[in-house]
Amino acid sequence: MAGLFGKKKTGAPGAGENSLPERLPRHVAIIMDGNGRWAEKRRLPRAAGHQAGTEALREIIRFSSDIGIGYLTIYAFSTENWSRPQDEVGALMALLLRYFRSEIDELCEKNVRIVILGDVDGLPTAQREAVLNAMERSKDNTGLTLSIALNYGGRQEILRAAKKLCERALAGEDPAAFTMADLESGLYTAGMPDVDLVIRTSGEERLSNLLPWQTVYSELVFDPTLWPDFTKERYLEDLRAYAGRDRRFGGRNGAAGK
Ligand code: FPP
């Protein structure tokens, strides 16, 4: 594994400031909030905030991969984000396209598998092709799974999964026998573990329709940092906060973790 901060590690992580916590989440989801405020503080267009946010993202993906996080989900564009002014939506779409085209080589080198959560068919043609290509190229990679919530809505995802069960019922299956695993098999995250830790930056404290099914027992960390200022050092702080939580999953004595 690469050193925590880019250099080769000397010895096992100890109690030092930059050491990894003993218990790492398997699945981290990040709501990358605060790009707009970051830009406004600098009297820059909001698009500049999103661009700066992409730089922060690059560092967090690399670091997640280096420390052995299994699944990293990032909230890139929600179904509600289409209601933003057209120029901002256009800037975000252009950024996404550049991102998928420019990062795919490095992500594949790092053995990262890319998964898209959301309605890919609802994306403009160029973006759709770029994300499908990224998924196809990286599908056999065995390292970090980077799942990108793109044109994603949590309630829409549950409705879509419910419709799949309705289709199965119409085809003759007994709906009384359906289990939670049956519903989960229709989610975009089928086969992935539930989210252990949600980090939302910028000080806002809500989940905004991100993975409502998969986060029922997630630990939540609300980090005041605006996303473009988010660093691996901040990330490590949030991972430490997670490691200090007592997860009970509705039971009593600690860590039933899944
Ligand atoms: C929320 O900040 C952020 C977004 C809606 C977009 C997040 C996108 C990126 C970080 C970059 C693009 C992603 C990829 C995968 C290339 P906000 O605009 O709501 O900020 P504000 O709350 O300060 O206005």
Report which ligand 1 atom has the smallest distance to the Cα of 81.
Answer: 5
Q: In CATH, what is the architecture of 23-153+194-243? A: 3-Layer(aba) Sandwich (3.40)
Query: Within its chain, how far is the Cα of 197 from the centroid?
Result: 10
3-state helix, strand, coil in the chain (%, to 5): 45, 15, 40
Q: Which of the four pLDDT bands, split at 50, 70 and 90, describes residue 1?
A: very low
30, 31, 35: which to mutate for ligand 1, most atoms within 8 A of CB? 35
Q: Is the pLDDT of residue 160 over 60?
A: yes
Q: ∠ at Cα 53 (192, 28), nearest 5°?
A: 20
The span from the first CA to the last CA of the chain, in angstroms, equals 24
**pLDDT value of residue 10:** 36
| Nearest to 214, CA basis, from 24, 23, 27 | 27
Q: So what's the pLDDT on residue 182?
A: 98
13 pLDDT band, cuts 50/70/90, is very low
Mean pLDDT of 247-253: 85
- Residue ranges of the domains in the chain? 23-153+194-243
> Per-residue confidence at 252, pLDDT binned at 50, 70, 90?
confident
The whole-number average pLDDT for the span 116-127 is 98
pLDDT band at 16 (very low <50, low <70, confident <90, very high): low
For residue 242, give the nearest of 218, 224, 225 by alpha carbon: 218
> Which tokens belong to 104?
């795919």
Closest-CA residue, ligand 1 atom 22, reads: 34
Q: What is the pLDDT of residues 47-81, one digit of tens each?
A: 999 999 999 999 999 999 999 999 999 999 999 99
Tokens of 169: 């019922």
- Cα–Cα distance between 115 and 134 in angstroms, integer? 8
Q: Minimal CA–CA distance to 199: which of 230, 156, 153?
A: 230
Residues with CB under 6 A from ligand 1: 32-37, 50, 53-54, 57, 76, 81, 95-96, 99, 148, 202, 227
Closest alpha carbon to 28 in 56, 55, 68, 1: 68
Residues 6+ apart with CB under 8 A from 176: none
Residue length of the chain: 258
d(C-alpha 12, C-alpha 87), whole Å: 49
Burial 34-71 (b: 16+ CB within 10 A, else e): bbbbbbeeeeeebbbbbbbbbebbeebbbbbbbbebbb
In 3-state terms, what secondary structure has residue 148? strand
Catalytic residues, by residue number, are 33, 81
Contact of 159 with 148, CB cutoff 8 Å: no
Whole-number pLDDT of residue 4: 53
